Structure 1
Amino acid sequence: MKRLSNQDVEKYYFEMFREIYPLPAGTITYTDAPDVILNGAKRVGIEITNFFLEEGSLPESEQSQKRLREKVISLAHQRFQSENRKKFEISFGFNKANPIRDQKILIQDIIQLAINIEKRETGQIPINVFKSIPELSFVYLNANEYPDAKWRIVQVYDVPVISRNRLIGIVKAKEGKAKKYKNCDAYWLLVVVNAANPAQEQEIQVEHFENIQTNIFEKIIVYKPFFNHVLEVT
């Protein structure tokens, strides 16, 4: 399947957004910098961005940790099976409070854990069995054997409430790029929270959310697709 471009994804989000939000009358053009231009009584440029919980370049960010978790589990499984061990399945939940720092040690720890539990029956593994592996918060063993047995990652996390400080950081970053925007009478910033992505999932708290000051954007709107949650912060 062809992977969607960023512009396709932005268009997808905006088409959902315009169904629930009263936009000014006018014609829509999808472009770049800003991502959408609405030509009506005035020309409104709308920049679209995602609301990641943390800066993606940080090693402890969910974006970075997701890749590391997948790599660690895949390599641990490969090495475990290379020793002709049982072909059972394990589900792992990771503790976000203890991000992966040393992949090699964690891979060895997970292999040893699998060896330690391979004679157990199907069920959730007590936390005291893997208390020496702080990166893990949940382990479930399916003791049945399969030719194509999988080790997989399950999401175990608390959904945080939207962070005003993080949102301010996103706004500032977009303000810094405003000089590259096409000329418009006004600019909006649409910040999308994709609940299907653990790196973005958060609750939008509408009540008592203090507005954010900006000299660039006429409107800053946080939007959670599928839930149709909308928060205006200007």
Structure 2
Amino acid sequence: MQLTENQKTEKEYFDLFRQHCELPCGTIEFSDKPDVVIRDEDNRRILGIEIANLYNSDGDGQDSEQKQRVNRLKVIASAEKIYQERGGRSIQLFIGFCQKNPIKPKRIERIAEDLASHVLKISTLSEAYHCHDPLDPTPEISFISHDGSESPKLMWDLWHSYSTPLLNVPRVKEMIERKAKKVRQYAPCGANWLLLIVDFWDPAQDQWMHWPAEESVEKTPFDRILIFNTATGIIEVLQRSQ
């Protein structure tokens, strides 16, 4: 069966996860509800694993990291176009954005205009240029870096600079509760695990992996609840016995 794009992503995460976790032997299948099924040779023991990404916050709000990343990329794309139309030379540029000053959709073109105009001024410099808070009227931009050399092609990219928050325990509990209510919709399995993914490379997900010793959750239909950070490994959420 051909995997969907979502299942391909889940497979990539699962392949990383299985390098850190001992799993039962058997045939691995990628499906839906649950996302992964592991069957032994006799088809007697079946483990179902539900996979979900653990974001720091919901992506619905305009100030969320998920929405801000989209806005930042729009600013860069628009600024590049303005810059090229005005004859700017091909350079490599890194642009950092301020988390405390999120980009409002109606400001995207104004920020792009200010960015393009400023880069035109510095693009002719033969020495490296690194500046924090370079544009007074544009507080959304926090950093611009140009090494002074010309590139074969225009290469502008995001500069990731952010503070890593602590694991959001209330949000983890909320997600566990939400997922636990859906277990009845899964294909029957002898055991079920919940695997929460924290993608280290995604600022909207990255969190310090520490589960407080005094914290636990009510018993759920999941035999194990695991949180996997793609860079730092696995922690397990303790469930209170009934």
Q: TM-score w.r.t. structure 2 length?
A: 0.80
Whole-Å Cα distance in 2 between the matches of residues 154 and 65 of structure 1?
A: 13
1:66 maps onto 2:66 in alignment: no
Whole-Å Cα distance in 2 between the matches of residues 179 and 129 of structure 1?
A: 54
Whole-Å Cα distance in 1 between the matches of residues 61 and 231 of structure 2?
A: 29
Unmatched runs of 5 consecutive residues or more in structure 1 = none
Higher mean C-alpha deviation, range 184-193 or range 75-84: 184-193
1:90 maps onto 2:89 in alignment: no
1:10 maps onto 2:15 in alignment: no
Q: Tell me how far 1:130 sits from its aligned partner.
A: 1.8
- Cα deviations across residues 78-127 of structure 1 (Å, max 9, x unaligned)? 11221223444321011222221021221122123224434555334433
Higher mean C-alpha deviation, range 69-78 or range 177-186: 177-186
Work out the percentage of aligned pairs sharing the same amino acid: 28
Unmatched runs of 5 consecutive residues or more in structure 2 = none
Whole-Å Cα distance in 2 between the matches of residues 90 and 21 of structure 1?
A: 40
Residue 99 of structure 1 corresponds to 102
Match of 1:143 among 139, 145, 148: 148
Tell me the matched-pair count. Answer: 232
Is this contact kept in 1: 2:134–2:144, CA < 8 A?
no
1:166 maps onto 2:171 in alignment: yes
Higher mean C-alpha deviation, range 155-164 or range 172-181: 172-181
Whole-Å Cα distance in 1 between the matches of residues 18 and 132 of structure 2?
A: 47
Whole-Å Cα distance in 2 between the matches of residues 83 and 209 of structure 1?
A: 60
Aligned-CA RMSD value: 2.8
Q: Tell me how far 1:74 sits from its aligned partner.
A: 1.4
Is this contact kept in 2: 1:91–1:140, CA < 8 A?
yes
Distance change >3 Å, CA 87–CA 39, structure 1 → 2 = closer
What code does the residue aligned with 1:74 have? A
Whole-Å Cα distance in 1 between the matches of residues 184 and 75 of structure 2?
A: 42
Instruction: Find the residue that maps to 2:157 and give its secondary structure.
Output: strand
Instruction: Find the residue that maps to 1:126 and give its secondary structure.
Output: strand
Residue 203 of structure 2 corresponds to 198
Q: TM-score w.r.t. structure 1 length?
A: 0.82
Higher mean C-alpha deviation, range 27-36 or range 103-112: 27-36
Higher mean C-alpha deviation, range 148-157 or range 165-174: 165-174
Is this contact kept in 2: 1:189–1:220, CA < 8 A?
yes
